[in-house]
Amino acid sequence: MSFLIGIISIPLSAQDYTISILPFSSDKYDEFSPVYYKGDIVFCTNRKNSSLFDFTDEKKNLPLLDIYRVEEIGRNAWGKAELFSKKFRSHFNEGPATFNNRGSEIYFSRNIDIKKKIGKLIDRNNKLGIYYSRFNRRKEEWSNPTPFRYNNAEYNIAHPSLSEDGNSLYFVSDMDGGYGGTDLYVCELENGVWGAPQNLGSNINTTGNEYFPFVHSSGRLYFSSDEHESIGRLDIFYSEQINGEWHKPIHMDAPINSKYNDFGFIIDAFKKTGMFCSDRQRTSDDIYSFTPLYPMFDNSKRQEENDYCYVLYEEGTENPDSSILEYEWSFGDGKKARGLEVEHCFNGPGDFTLELNVIDKLTGEVFYTQATYPLKIEDLEQVYINAPDTVEVGQEIFFDGHKTNINNFKIYKYYWDFGDGRKTRGIEARHIYTTRGNYIVQLGVVSKQDKAGDSERTGVYKNIVVVGALKERNRRGNN
């Protein structure tokens, strides 16, 4: 077996991200589960007041969770972290939280029974539930928290995450009927009422534990799990829905994941920067920021296919005496077709000379030339992915960008994203899909930096359908 060195797709390495611990993380207390809120960050901490099921160490002997807010005051500069709202503070655990896209509604985790005078770090008899509150602009305050209709004293419901449109609420629960310890669920908003919880299924949930969902504005779901072949304890994964079915989760590569607990992942709408949580550096949970060094191509457009087929006809021309004469088109590519109106597909771009000739049917010679036209065929101006539309699981696929056609743009580097968590560089690439599904493949190009350090970038994407391997399909057909 031979290998083509340098163009096999590989996961991004540590060199493709820059990560840093955020300054409002402390070495004594836990800070985790950040969410975006009106340009600020809201997160959980036990610095004054963690328990989420069995995840936090009971021996820490720290206060319970509160919801805090910190303002970003400049590039990599943050203000002082402060309590988000006294309205949500109790003697028990509050957080993580999620907001609607206007920031006018909050959903957050809390122990269901907050009437006791003293809360325990882990109280197996005081389950977690979800509560929500709305902001009253006139009074400039949040309403009293209202319990989610599916809270239950028999099991936990926690870690809420709202979709961009506010119509889907994802969360974690250990209710009966799941696949493992804790599973991910979703409720859909129906006529202003949350529908019954729906388990996300066996592609997402395992016999282990799934935690900390975050649904991106694109619909991609990020979460943490101690299964799915994680390399540490909790690792971060993501999945997307294809035709209503969640595909096999993709494991995020280092340095996002490590041999420690990694969780609480978020990323901005343009997938340029984000945050996640980890206990990799010390005994407490900390919040890290990350920036992909792999360039993002937010202006990518769906690839259009070049059309080299034409219908040719000559207006205002009458057919000659059909008994001895007829029309014949010469396409300038060595091919001809007879008739006043014909269809022809060229093999590709180029300069051609079209001739409409009148042919003597007896001799086959040109009686006279009716018309002559120059035809210049050009590829569409775009980055171009040359690859099949449908492939099989396990099939090695060759991708190339040689047909890219961009005027006034000197390409410096090519970047591939195969839609399954794998990326690579180069004008050519080879890749193997291991799971059936519908994948979005992206090819982006960048120019060299100018004197100011700026560069141009553009890209396209196309869909590739990965079907079961031939033997697998034959086996299913025989059953």
Separation CA 288–CA 281 (nearest Å)? 11
Percent of the chain scored above 70 by pLDDT? 87
- Residue 147 binned pLDDT confidence (cut-offs 50, 70, 90): very high
- Residue 59 binned pLDDT confidence (cut-offs 50, 70, 90): very low
Identify the pLDDT of residue 84: 94
Tell me which of 452 and 447 has the higher pLDDT.
Answer: 447
- What pairing do the DSSP bridges indicate for beta strands 428-432 and 396-400? antiparallel
Identify the pLDDT of residue 114: 64
| Structure token digits, residue 109 | 């985790």
- Residue 7 binned pLDDT confidence (cut-offs 50, 70, 90): very low
Residues pairing with 189 in the sheet: 194
Among 78-92, 259-273, 318-332, 343-357, top mean pLDDT goes to 343-357
Separation CA 439–CA 213 (nearest Å)? 22
| DSSP track, 418-471 | -SSS-EEESSEEEEE--S-EEEEEEEEEEEPP-TTS---EEEEEEEEEEE--HH
Tell me which of 313 and 142 has the higher pLDDT.
Answer: 142
- Residue 115 binned pLDDT confidence (cut-offs 50, 70, 90): low
At residue 84, the 3 state secondary structure works out as coil
Separation CA 421–CA 371 (nearest Å)? 55
Q: To the nearest 10°, report the CA torsion of 352, 353, 358, 362.
A: -60
**pLDDT higher than threshold 80 for residue 297:** no
Q: In the chain, what's the furthest Cα-to-Cα distance? A: 109
- Enter the pTM of the model: 0.66
Tell me which of 107 and 474 has the higher pLDDT.
Answer: 107
How confident is the model over 108-137, as a mean pLDDT? 78
Identify the pLDDT of residue 219: 87
**pLDDT higher than threshold 80 for residue 17:** no
| Cβ partners under 8 Å of residue 471, min gap 6 | none
How confident is the model over 252-270, as a mean pLDDT? 89
Tell me which of 271 and 376 has the higher pLDDT.
Answer: 376
- Which among 203, 247, 237, 244 has a CA at the least distance from the CA of 466? 247
Taking residue 335's Cβ as centre, other Cβ atoms within 10 Å add up to: 12
| Structure token digits, residue 325 | 């004469």
How confident is the model over 279-290, as a mean pLDDT? 90
- What pairing do the DSSP bridges indicate for beta strands 82-83 and 146-147? unpaired
Among 202-206, 422-426, 469-473, top mean pLDDT goes to 202-206
Percent of the chain scored above 90 by pLDDT? 56
What rounded mean pLDDT belongs to the chain?
Answer: 85
Q: Which of 164-173, 241-250, 387-396 has the lowest mean pLDDT?
A: 241-250
How confident is the model over 36-57, as a mean pLDDT? 70
Separation CA 57–CA 284 (nearest Å)? 10
Identify the pLDDT of residue 62: 59
Q: Which of 150-154, 361-365, 411-415 has the lowest mean pLDDT?
A: 361-365
How confident is the model over 235-263, as a mean pLDDT? 88
Ordered domains of the chain (ranges, CATH): 14-292 (2.120.10.30), 309-377 (2.60.40.10), 390-478 (2.60.40.10)
How confident is the model over 301-307, as a mean pLDDT? 90
- Residue 478 binned pLDDT confidence (cut-offs 50, 70, 90): low
Which class for 102: exposed (0-12), middle (13-18), buried (19 or more C-beta within 10 A)?
exposed
How confident is the model over 280-302, as a mean pLDDT? 83
- Residue 444 binned pLDDT confidence (cut-offs 50, 70, 90): very high
DSSP state of 134: E
Tell me which of 8 and 48 has the higher pLDDT.
Answer: 48
- Which among 211, 194, 84 has a CA at the least distance from the CA of 148? 194
Integer-rounded Cα Rg, in Å, for the chain is: 30
Identify the pLDDT of residue 304: 92
Q: Is the peptide bond before 255 cis (omega within 30 degrees of 0)?
A: yes
Which class for 467: exposed (0-12), middle (13-18), buried (19 or more C-beta within 10 A)?
middle
How confident is the model over 158-182, as a mean pLDDT? 96
Separation CA 12–CA 427 (nearest Å)? 17
Among 86-95, 112-121, 192-201, 265-274, top mean pLDDT goes to 192-201
